[in-house]
Amino acid sequence: MCPKSSREKGTRGEEMARRYLKEHGYDILGSNFRARTGEIDIIAKDRDEIVFVEVKSASGNTFGNPVEWVNTFKQQRIIRTSLVYVQAKGLAGCPMRYDVITVDSDRKVCHVRDAFRYQA
Q: How far is CA 85 from the centre of its chain?
A: 14
Q: What is the pTM of this model?
A: 0.87
Q: Looking at residues 81-97, what average pLDDT do you find?
A: 95
User: 6-116 architecture in CATH?
Assistant: 3-Layer(aba) Sandwich (3.40)
More confident position, 95 or 105: 95
In this predicted structure, what is the pLDDT of residue 119?
78
The strand pairing partners of 43, in sequence order, are: 30, 52
Across the chain, what does the average pLDDT equal?
87
Kindly report, residue by residue over 2-31, the tens digit of the pLDDT. Answer: 555 566 656 888 999 999 999 999 999 999
Give me the DSSP letters along 92-107.
Answer: TTS-EEEEEEEE-TT-
Domain extents in the chain? 6-116
Chain centroid to Cα 112, Å, comes to: 10
Among 98, 110, 95, smallest CA distance to 72 is for 98
Sign of CA pseudo-dihedral 117, 30, 14, 81: negative
